[in-house]
Structure 1
Amino acid sequence: MSQQAPGATSAKSPGIRRYVIASLVGNSLEWYDFFLYATAAAIVFGKLFFPADTNPLVGTLGAFVGFAVGFAARPLGGILFGHIGDRVSRKSALVMTLSIMGIATFLMGLLPTYQQVGIWAPILLVILRILQGIAAGGEWGGGVLIISENSSDQRRGLFSAFSQGGVTLGFVLASAAFYLAQLLPEDQFMAWGWRLPFLLSVLLFGVGMYIRFRLPETKEFEQVKKTGERASVPVLAALRTHPKEILVAMGLRVAENGGSYLLLSFSLVYGVHVGVERGTLLLGVMLSMLFAFCTIVFFGHLSDKIGRRKVYAFGASALALMAFPFFWLIDSNSSALIIVAYFIGNGICHAAMIGAQPAFFHELFSPEVRYSGMALGHELAAVFAGGLAPFIATALLLTYDSSTPVSLYAIGLAAVTLTALAFSKNMGRHGTSPTDEQTGVSALKAGQH
C-alpha cells in the first residue's frame, strides 16, 4: 500500500486545494500592502516625505532608507510570529500578521506630507514601515507552511510554489493600483491620487481576514501538538539544532531577494533616470509578474522532479548572466525590449529560485521549530539582501551615473547564493531532502509503494 509522511495529504485530496487557495489569496493581499511602499518609494515618497533637493535621486535615496528600515524589522517579526506559530498556532500567527499589515498600510494613505508637517512626515512613514516589516517577517513562513505541511512529499514543490505565486500577485495588484492612479493628471496624482492604493487596502484586508479565520490548522502542526514536542522557546531551539541550515537558508535568499528588488523597485528608479516613461516600466513589471506566477509554479513542479538544488542553481546562474543585459535593454527605451527584460529577469531568473524555495526551506527544518527556523533564515537575509539592494543600487547610480556597478553588484549576490547551494548538499534530513540525488531516490521509493 502507498505510504505517506505523517500529516501529509494525498496530492489528489480536495483538502490541499483549500489550503492552496487560502495561502494564494492571503499572501496576495498581504504582499499587496507590503509592495505598495516599494512602488511608492520609487515614484512619489522621495518628493513628498523627504526634504526637497535639486537632485531627485537624493529624495529617492531617503525613501529607500525607510524601505531598508522596514526590512530591518522583519527578523523581529519572524522571531515573534515564529514563536506564536510554533508554540500556539500557525493560523493565529497569520491572522495577526495580516491585521498589523492592513492597519499600517491604510494609515500610510492618511499621512501628511513633509510640506505639511515637516520632519514628522518621514518619521511617521518610517514607523508605519517598521510595522509593515514586522508583519511581513511573520507572514512568509506561515503562508508557506499552511500548504507545505499539508502536502505529500512527492508534490510539495508544486503546491508550495503557489504561496510564492501569491507574492507575485500582490506585486501585480500594487503595481496595477499605481499604474491606474498615475493616469490622473500629474498634479492630482501627487496631491491625492497616490493615496488611493493605500486606502483601498482596507477592502482587501476584510477579504483576507475572512479567509484566514476560516482556515483549519495544518496537519503536521496538529501532530506536533499531540506528541507534545513543541519547544519552549522555538527560536533558541532552532538556533541550537539547525545553525547550518539557517545560514544556508540566508545564503539562498541573497540572490533571490536582493536580485528581485533590483529587478523591481530599483529598475523603476533607473528607468525614470534614463528617460523611460513611468507607465512603460510599471506595465513591464505587471506583465512580467503575471508571467512569473506561471513560471514559479512550473519551477516548483520541476524541483519535485529533478531536485531543489538544480532548479535553484539555474535561477542564480541566470541572474548573473542577465545582470548586464537587463539594464542594457532598459537603456534602449524600447517598450518591447523593456518588457523582454522584465520577462527574463522576473519570469525566469527570479522565478526559478523563488519557485523552488518554499519546499527547499520546509525540508531544512524539523516540524517543532520549522516556522521559527524558516523565518530566521528568510528574514535575517532580507535585511542585507532585499532591504539594502535598492539603497545600494541607487547610491551606486548617484555616484557613477552608470548601471555597470549595479550589474556587478547583482553578480555578487548570485555568487553568494551559489556558494550557499554548494554547502546545502546532504542537508534536509527532516523531510524529503532538497539535494538532487535524494530527491530522485525519494521519487523512486514512492513509485515502489
Structure 2
Amino acid sequence: YYDFFIYGTAAALVFGRVFFPDSNPLTGTLLALATFGVGYLARPIGAIVLGHLGDKFGRKKVLVLTVLLMGASTLAVGFLPSFEQIGVIAPLLLVLMRLAQGFSAGGEQAGANSMSVEHAPANRRAFFTSFTLSGTQAGQILATAVFIPVALLPEDQLLSWGWRVPFWISAVVIVAAFLIRRTLDETPIFTAQAAEGRIEELPLKVLFRDHWRGVLRVIAAAVIASVSTIFTVFGLSFAVNTVGLDRTAMLWVGVLANVLALGTIPLWAMLSDRVGRKPVFIAGSLGSAILMFAYLWAISIGSYPLIFLFGIVLFGLVYTATSAVWPSFYAEMFPTRVRLSGMAIGTQIGFAVAGFAPTIAGAVAGDGANAWLIVAVITAVLCAVNIIAVATARETFRVPMERLGLRRELASPAAPAALD
C-alpha cells in the first residue's frame, strides 16, 4: 500500500501542476484528485477477477500477482513525461497507470485478509487479521515520510524530478514484498477443501446466489473508508492549496497519526476478540464522524497545535477502531469457498465511493469559507451509513471458522461443518 498512498499524496501536492497546468488552481487540484479516484473505479473489476482466482486457485497466487502488478504500474508513474512534454497524452497515461493500481488493489486487501483470518486461532481472528491494516498504515507512513524531504525541495525541482523519487523507491518495496509472499503457505481450510473437491467452479455464481446480502452489507459498511480518503487527500489539499498551510507540517500530521495507529490497531482488535466486532466498529465510526468536524475546522483557522491534536486523535486513535475490526468482520460474513470474492467485491465497491469522496466533497464544497463544514457533514453521513450496516449485522466473533457465512440456523454449534 506504499504504492497506492504515494499516488494520493502526489495528487494532492503536485499532480495538478504537472499534468493539468492549463487549469486554474482549484480545477487543476480537482482534476488531480479525480485521477486518484479513478483507481477506485478499477478496484471492483479487479475484485471480480482476482476474487474468482483467489477462491478457485488459492490466496497465495493472488497475493503474488497483485504485488507484481501494483509494483509495475507504480514504478511506471515515476517515469511519465509531464503535460508540457507530450501534452494530453501525459494525463491519459497517468490515468491508465492508476487504473492498473486500482485493479491490483481490488484483490490485495481481501486476499491478505482471507489468508490471515484462515490461518488465525479461533479466538484471535481480529488480532491476527488486524496486521493486514497495520501493514496498510506502515505503507502510508512510508509513503508520507518519503514525501517530507521531497516537499522541501525548491518548487522547480519538486515539479520536475522531485515528485518522481517516491515512485522510483517503490521498486525496492515491491521486490521485498514479492520475495516474502513467495514463501507463504496456502491456508489450511482452503487446502482441505481443495483436497476434498469442494472448490467451486464458479465462485461468483455461488456468491451472488447465496450470499448477496453479505455483499450488500459489506458495500454499505466499507464507505467508512471515506474518513481515510478525506483525511489523507482532501484534508491535505485543503490545508496546502486553499488555506495556504505548510505542506511539510501537514505531512507530519499523517506520519504521526499513522505511527500511533500501528499501536492502536492491534489493541482495538484484541478488544474486539473479547467483546465482539460490532461495539468496537460502531464506536470508531461514530467518533470519526465527530472528530472530522474538529479536524477540518482546525485546518480552516490555521491552528497547527489543534490540527496536530485533532488529526492524530482522529486518524491515529479513533478511526483505527474501524480499521482493526473490518478485516475480520467482513471475512466472517462469508464461507471459505466465496470468502475472497465476497470481501473483495463488497469492499471495493464501498471503497470506490470513498475514493471519489475527496473529489465529490471538494466539488460540492467549493473554496468558500465554510467549505470544510460541508465536507465534514458529507463524511458524517457516510459514517452513518456504515453504522447502520454494522449495527444490523450478525455478531460473528464466536462463530467457528467452518460455520462462518452460513445462515443463522446452520451456524449454531450443532450444525454440521460440511455445510460450508
Question: What's the counterpart of residue 364 of structure 2?
Answer: 396
The correspondence of residues 224-373 of structure 1 with structure 2, limited to 5 A, is 224-255=193-224, 257-272=225-240, 273-373=242-342
When structure 1 is superposed on structure 2, of 262-271 and 398-407 the one drifting more is 398-407
Residues 1:147 and 2:113 are matched in the alignment: no
Q: Which one of the candidate residues 22, 26, 51 is aligned to 1:52?
A: 22
- In 2, Cα distance between equivalents of 1:235 and 1:114: 41
Question: What's the counterpart of residue 41 of structure 1?
Answer: 11
Q: Which one of the candidate residues 381, 392, 396 is aligned to 1:423?
A: 392
Question: What's the counterpart of residue 375 of structure 2?
Answer: 406
Q: Is the Cα–Cα contact under 8 Å of residues 282 and 391 in structure 2 kept in the other structure?
A: no
Consecutive aligned runs of 4 or more in structure 1 exceeding 6 Å deviation? 427-430
Count of equivalent residues: 403
**Aligned-partner residue type, residue 391 of structure 1:** T
Question: What's the counterpart of residue 63 of structure 2?
Answer: 94
Q: Which one of the candidate residues 37, 44, 58 is aligned to 1:68?
A: 37
**Deviation of 1:234 (Å):** 1.1
Q: Is the Cα–Cα contact under 8 Å of residues 298 and 306 in structure 2 kept in the other structure?
A: yes
When structure 1 is superposed on structure 2, of 226-235 and 88-97 the one drifting more is 226-235
Q: Is the Cα–Cα contact under 8 Å of residues 330 and 341 in structure 1 kept in the other structure?
A: no
Question: What's the counterpart of residue 445 of structure 1?
Answer: none
Q: Is the Cα–Cα contact under 8 Å of residues 334 and 404 in structure 2 kept in the other structure?
A: no
The CA RMSD over aligned residues, in Å, is 1.8
Q: Is the Cα–Cα contact under 8 Å of residues 288 and 346 in structure 1 kept in the other structure?
A: yes
Q: Is the Cα–Cα contact under 8 Å of residues 363 and 430 in structure 1 kept in the other structure?
A: no
- In 2, Cα distance between equivalents of 1:348 and 1:200: 29
**Deviation of 1:333 (Å):** 2.5
- Write the deviation string for residues 258-280 of structure 1: whole angstroms up to 9, x where unpaired: 11111111110111111210001
Distance change in 2, residues 1:426/1:143 (3 Å): closer
Q: Is the Cα–Cα contact under 8 Å of residues 282 and 387 in structure 2 kept in the other structure?
A: yes
- In 1, Cα distance between equivalents of 2:360 and 2:249: 24
- In 1, Cα distance between equivalents of 2:323 and 2:90: 35
**Aligned-partner residue type, residue 228 of structure 2:** S
- In 1, Cα distance between equivalents of 2:335 and 2:130: 20
- Write the deviation string for residues 90-148 of structure 1: whole angstroms up to 9, x where unpaired: 11111110010000000000000111111001100000000000000010011112211
The correspondence of residues 374-385 of structure 1 with structure 2, limited to 5 A, is 374-384=343-353
When structure 1 is superposed on structure 2, of 116-125 and 395-404 the one drifting more is 395-404
- Write the deviation string for residues 165-210 of structure 1: whole angstroms up to 9, x where unpaired: 0001111111111112112222111110100000111111111111
Question: What's the counterpart of residue 25 of structure 1?
Answer: none
**Aligned-partner residue type, residue 19 of structure 2:** F
Question: What's the counterpart of residue 387 of structure 1?
Answer: 355
- In 1, Cα distance between equivalents of 2:137 and 2:233: 13
TM normalised by structure 2 equals 0.92
**Deviation of 1:430 (Å):** 6.8
Distance change in 2, residues 1:334/1:426 (3 Å): closer
- In 1, Cα distance between equivalents of 2:93 and 2:195: 44
The correspondence of residues 213-224 of structure 1 with structure 2, limited to 5 A, is 213-224=182-193
**Aligned-partner residue type, residue 254 of structure 2:** V
TM normalised by structure 1 equals 0.87
5+ residue gaps, structure 1, are: 1-30, 435-440, 443-449
5+ residue gaps, structure 2, are: 406-411, 414-420
